[in-house]
Amino acid sequence: MTHSFKLVDWLNDHPGDDALLHGVETRTSAPVRVERVRESCEAVGLRRLFPAGEGAGYAGGIVSAAVDGLRVGRAVSEVLGASTAGERGGMGGEGAGGER
C-alpha cells in the first residue's frame, strides 16, 4: 500500500498532457476459496453470507464472475423468499413471458 501511495503522489506531480498510463489485467484466481453450500450458495457455517465471483474464488474473469453473480443472485432471492414470478429471460429457461 505504501508503494501505491508514493506512486499516486508521483503521478500527481509528473505526467503531462501527453502522458500515457497503462493498466495491466492479469489472469489469476483468488488464493482462497470461500466454501459454500451447493443448493443455497450460502457460506458453509455462516448463513446469509453469499460468497460470489472472483474474490470468493468462484470465477476467473468478467464473464464467469457475471454468470456466478446471476446464479448467486437467484439463490439469494430464493433463500430470502423473494418472488421470481414474472421474470423475463435469465438463466432459468423462461420464455419471453416468464413461462418455463
Phi and psi torsions of 75, nearest 5°: -65, -40
- 98 in a domain, yes or no? no
Q: Return the higher-pLDDT residue of 50 and 6.
A: 50
- 75 in a domain, yes or no? yes
Q: Domain count for the chain, please give it.
A: 1
- 4 in a domain, yes or no? no
- 46 in a domain, yes or no? yes
At 97 the pLDDT is 42
- 24 in a domain, yes or no? no
The predicted model scores a pTM of: 0.53
Please write the tens of the pLDDT for every residue from 44-94: 999 889 999 888 888 888 899 899 999 999 999 999 887 555 454 444 444
- 39 in a domain, yes or no? yes
CA gap 57, 10 in Å, rounded: 34
pLDDT reading at 17 higher than 70: no
